[in-house]
Amino acid sequence: MALAHAHSPTQRRLNRQAAKPGRTIRIRIKRCDGPGKPSRWEHFDVKVERGANVISCLQQIAAHPVTADGKATTPVVWDAICLEEICGACTMLINGRVRQSCSCLIDEYAPNHGDSITLEPMSKFPVVRDLWVDRSRAFEALKRIKAWIPIDGTYHLGPGPREPARPQLTRYTLSTCMTCACCLEACPQYTIEHDESKWDASFIGAHAISQVRLFNSHQTGKQLAPDRLDILTGLGGIASCGNAQNCVKVCPKDIPLTESIGAIGRAATLHALAKWFSGPS
């Protein structure tokens, strides 16, 4: 997968300033009718509205599903919810690079008349239809690592642990992970797996490792740290990370994923050593 950013931030700003109003651009979309069906490309010409993003172009196509060569087709299916890059749903490959489509501004990607933008579904997850993929494996990983604080229940028991501002800020940053799976798409070690029974033994992914760091750094949450590290020292755990560092480059929330992998890698080593010395429990 091409990781090189098709457009640098500077280039995107220049593009935005140079964008021609009233232009028409071409959207090339890789489509697929359902699991096991062949993929095909369809091209659409879209008149760019002010402030247009990939979502508004897809909305235009839905309202008028006719390809560039005049053939009637069906509206493109895609996953989208908040359109503010906070829910993580509308993730896809845009010009070969994974990102959310809502925050992808047409002015930045296709400033000139006739420019084109390519949309493809993420490649590491099974396609449901068109640009919509099934990311349940990413959520299953959160269950495996017990991504929660084991509270005593919802009755009133007073406040949580007091926490200085700095660790709070670290936890906040880690806690902004939307499970959008950009990091998984970009990871060479994370490969598509249709067979659910093989998920547990396949690489769990940077998002889950970073969530382990989040929960292990909370006073109550760390009670489950051994269970979490057991998972990460097992098959498909942290040892499967190939240190390509792609994850951190594509994270839309700038979560320090490689830092998390480093920190949890050290914790996992200590955990494994401790277990080794104490013998099998």
Partner 1 sequence: MPQQRVIVVGGGLAGLAATIRIAEADMPVDLFSMVPVKRSHSVCAQGGINACNEVARQQGYSEYQHFDETIYGGDYLADQAPVLEMANWAPRIIDLLDRMGVPFNRTAEGFRDLRLFGGSLFRRTHFSGATTGQQLLYALDEQTRRHESEGKVNKYEFWEFLRPIIHDQRCVGIVAQDMRTMQIRAFRADAVVMATGGCGLIFGKSTNSVICTGGAASRCFQAGAWYANPEMIQVHPTAIPGADKCRLMSESARGEGGRIWVPRKQGDSRDFKDIPASERWYFLEEKFPKYGNLVPRDIASRELFDICVNQRMGIGGENVVYLDLTHRDPDYLTRKLGGIMEIYEKFVGDDPRFTPMKIFPAVHYSMGGLWTGYVHGAYDPPQPHGEHRAGGVVPVSTDSGQGMQPGAPENMMTNIRGLYAFGEVSFAFHGATRLGANALLSCIFDGLFSGASVVNYVRECEPGETPADSLDPATFDAAAQHEQSKHQALLDSADAGDMTDETNPYRIGHDLGVEMTEASTVVKSGPRLEQCLKKLAHLRDRYSRVRLSDAAMWTNQSLSYTRALGDMLILAEAIALGGLKRKESRGSHFRTDFPDRDDPNFLKTTIATYDPQSRSTDISYRDVDTRLVRPRPRTYGKIEAEQQHKTGQPVVAK
Please identify which residue in 201, 220, 270, 274 interacts with partner 1, judged by CB under 8 A.
220
Which residue type, as a one-letter code, is found at position 192?
Answer: I
Give the CA count within 13 Å in the CB-facing half-sphere of 188: 9
CB-wise, 56 or 260, nearer to partner 1?
Answer: 56
Question: What distance in Å separates the CA atoms of residue 119 and residue 104, rounded to the nearest whole number?
Answer: 11
CB-wise, 212 or 241, nearer to partner 1?
Answer: 212
CB atoms within 10 A of CB 35: 11
CB-wise, 112 or 243, nearer to partner 1?
Answer: 112
CB-wise, 112 or 220, nearer to partner 1?
Answer: 220
**Cβ contact 205:187 at 8 Å:** yes
Q: Does 200 bind partner 1 (CB under 8 A)?
A: no
Token duo for residue 276: 């080794």
Q: Does 22 bind partner 1 (CB under 8 A)?
A: no
Q: Which of residues 118-177 bind partner 1 (CB under 8 A)?
A: 128-129, 132, 135, 139, 142-143, 146-151, 153-154, 156-160, 162-165, 168-169, 171-172, 175-176
Report the interhelical angle of 206-216 vs 165-174 (nearest 10°). Answer: 150
CB-wise, 74 or 191, nearer to partner 1?
Answer: 74
Q: How far is the CB of 243 from partner 1 (least distance, A)?
A: 28
User: Side by side, which strands form the sheet with 24-32?
Assistant: 39-47, 24-32, 116-120, 91-94, 97-100
**Cβ contact 135:196 at 8 Å:** no
Q: How far is the CB of 273 from partner 1 (least distance, A)?
A: 28
CB-wise, 128 or 272, nearer to partner 1?
Answer: 128
Q: How far is the CB of 62 from partner 1 (least distance, A)?
A: 6
Please identify which residue in 25, 27, 46, 52 interacts with partner 1, judged by CB under 8 A.
52
CB atoms within 10 A of CB 214: 21
CB atoms within 10 A of CB 157: 9
Give the CA count within 13 Å in the CB-facing half-sphere of 88: 18
Question: What distance in Å separates the CA atoms of residue 177 and residue 189, rounded to the nearest whole number?
Answer: 20
Question: What distance in Å separates the CA atoms of residue 207 and residue 265, rounded to the nearest whole number?
Answer: 14
**Cβ contact 104:94 at 8 Å:** yes
Q: Does 56 bind partner 1 (CB under 8 A)?
A: yes
**Mask: binding to partner 1, 72-101, rule CB under 8 A, as x and -?**
x-xx-x--xxxxxxxxxx------------
Q: How far is the CB of 98 from partner 1 (least distance, A)?
A: 16
Residues binding partner 1 (CB under 8 A): 13, 16, 33-34, 49-53, 55-56, 59, 62-63, 65, 72, 74-75, 77, 80-89, 102-103, 105, 108, 128-129, 132, 135, 139, 142-143, 146-151, 153-154, 156-160, 162-165, 168-169, 171-172, 175-176, 178-179, 215, 218, 220-221
